[in-house]
Amino acid sequence: MLKTLFLLPVETQIFYSVLVFSWTVYLWEAYLSCRQRKIYRTTIHVPEELGKIMDPDTFEKSRLYQLDKSNFSFWSGLYSEIEGTLILLLGGIPFLWHFAGSVTARFGFGPDYEIIQSLVFLTLATLFGAVTGLPWSLYSTFVIEEKHGFNQQTLGFFLKDAVKKFAVTQCILLPVSSLLLYIIKIGGDYFFIYAWLFTLLVSLVLVTIYADYIAPLFDKFTPLPEGELKTAIEDMAKSISFPLTKLYVVEGSKRSSHSNAYFYGFFKNKRIVLFDTLLEDYSPLNSAGEPQSDTQSETESDPEETSSETKQKSKKKQGCNNAEILAVLGHELGHWKLGHTVKNIVISQMNSFLCFSLFAVLIGRTELFVAFGFTQSQPTLIGLMIIFQFIFSPYNELLSFCLTVLSRRFEFQADAFARGMGKASELYSALIKLNMDNLGFPVADWLFSMWHYSHPPLLERLRALGNVKQD
């Protein structure tokens, strides 16, 4: 059996190895999710250890929410694995490439215009992805998130957002890809160094312009109003010499009532962004008359009245108080102070350099193209796709697992940093509140969480915070 496998042409071996590997990863992850679903299904009482921090009602809500999400991702994962397999088996990639060629030919650009053909190919491929992904994201937002009280979007907002996202992506993707392809074509022997430098430059430019020009296209950012919280955050930033220049609140509540905080920016120009849903006093979800209530769509009556009425019944106050927000930011700034951000950038750039170097070695191998149905031509864009996505996939899986492990270490370190600032007990209660607001389920299968969790499970974080509190 094994012997006949080796007798197959090398192209066939490559093709089926990619397919088998993809299904192996799929089945492994499906197995992990199955273990985790079993936990959701069977852990119906609050474990003793959690009794003090989680009430049975929230525990049950989060259990049902996570169970729904897990079932959904089973079906969406199965769909995308089958879709990907069919695309490969039926030769979808060469088909789309030739189709793109016939489109460009109609406009008078023959097969010599490879970059133009690549752009048409990319546009069609992303359009295909957007269209086939749409029903899934509609279902996730308007059925699952809606059912559990997180969705704040209207259908109109959602669709407008999707169109905008597609347009903005094309505006960035197309010029960047054409320049990259051009660099690879004219770069000579050391093209991979130039290509890597170019992608590095693009990511630096994107980070710089994202906050001022891209993010505001989607969300409203308002400076945090003067007051106690603002002064306290500025003082804290100063105390660890964090170069804070701007402090924003983003209207995350327009999309969803999940809450968060983050910082970004270069060198001496750092900004902090707080979701309005994180701020107890600021969150529109806590103010009366906010037209977000679940019943609004179901009843014809005045939304002002029904929402303030139902809120008292169904929605409890969400978000953290000022001391807790400071503790959350202490954690976030810990990531910066401990060099986690820089370390992540260095890792990703080293990885990108390594991948481009290997790409330079592999791009000349015609059997890789033949394996995926490109017998006549070896377009650079297709080479990038085959090598970065298919050939590197075992390496990508391994890398992403290592990064997840590293991320959990960083989270513990950032928690310890906030603890060092004397914020252990505030962070302790903030983590509990955020977990409740986001309906996180506090019990996890060890194998599932080891593979997927970028943040350590709640209990482990609380334990790490609590132990030192007692010192």
Tell whether 45 is in a known binding site: no
Minimal distance in Å, beta carbon 407 to Zn ion? 8
Residue with Cβ nearer Zn ion (290 or 411): 411
Q: How many CB atoms lie within 10 A of CB 312?
A: 10
Partner residues linked to 390 by β-bridges: none
Q: Which of 145, 276, 332, 445 is catalytic?
A: 332
| Contact window for Zn ion (CB under 5 A) among 118-126, 403-411, 427-435, 441-449 | 403-411
Residue 294 or 415: which CB sits closer to Zn ion? Answer: 415
CB of 449 to Zn ion, least distance (A): 16
Active site residue 290: no
SS3 at position 366: helix
Strand bridging mode 261-266 / 269-275: antiparallel
Q: How far is the CB of 367 from Zn ion (least distance, A)?
A: 44
Q: Count of CB atoms within 10 A of residue 189's CB?
A: 7
Q: Residue 302 catalytic?
A: no
Nearer to Zn ion, 325 or 414 (CB): 414
Nearer to Zn ion, 100 or 465 (CB): 465
Select which of 114, 276, 324, 415 is catalytic: 415
Residue 411 annotated as binding site: yes
**Whole-angstrom distance, CA of residue 139 vs CA of residue 31:** 24
CB 367 within 8 A of CB 273: no
Q: Which H or E run contains 15?
A: helix 10-42
The distance of closest approach from Cβ of residue 165 to Zn ion in the complex, given in angstroms and rounded to an integer, is 26
Phi, psi for 455 (deg, rounded to 5): -115, 145
- At residue 351, what is the residue type? N
Least Cα distance to 255 among 150, 160, 164, 148 occurs for 150
Contact 43, 73 (CB under 8 A): no
Name the minimum Å distance from CB 455 to Zn ion: 7
Q: Distance between CA atoms of 311 and 315, rounded to whole angstroms? A: 5
The interface region with Zn ion, picked from 84-92, 113-121, 367-375, 414-422 by CB under 5 A, is 414-422
CB atoms within 10 A of CB 260: 16
Q: Is 280 annotated as a binding residue?
A: no
Q: Which is nearer to Zn ion, 391 or 414 (CB)?
A: 414
To Zn ion, the closest distance from the beta carbon of 411 in angstroms equals: 5
Give the single-character DSSP code of 151.
B
- Which segment (43-51, 217-225, 387-395, 407-415) binds Zn ion by CB under 5 A? 407-415
DSSP 376-402: S---HHHHHIIIIIIITHHHHHHHHHH
**Span from 78-86, 165-173, 295-303, 406-414 in contact with Zn ion (CB under 5 A):** 406-414
Q: Binders of Zn ion among 336-355, rule CB under 5 A?
A: none
Task: Please check whether residue 453 is in contact with residue 408, taking contact to mean a CB–CB distance below 8 angstroms.
Answer: yes
Smaller CB separation from Zn ion, 311 or 340: 340
Q: How many residues bind to Zn ion according to rule CB under 5 A?
A: 2
Sign (positive or negative) of CA dihedral 432, 438, 439, 440: negative
Interacting positions 102-121 with Zn ion (CB under 5 A): none
The binding site comprises 331, 335, 411
Positions marked catalytic: 332, 415
Binding-site ranges for Zn ion (CB under 5 A): 411, 414
Residues annotated within a binding site for Zn(2+)? 331, 335, 411
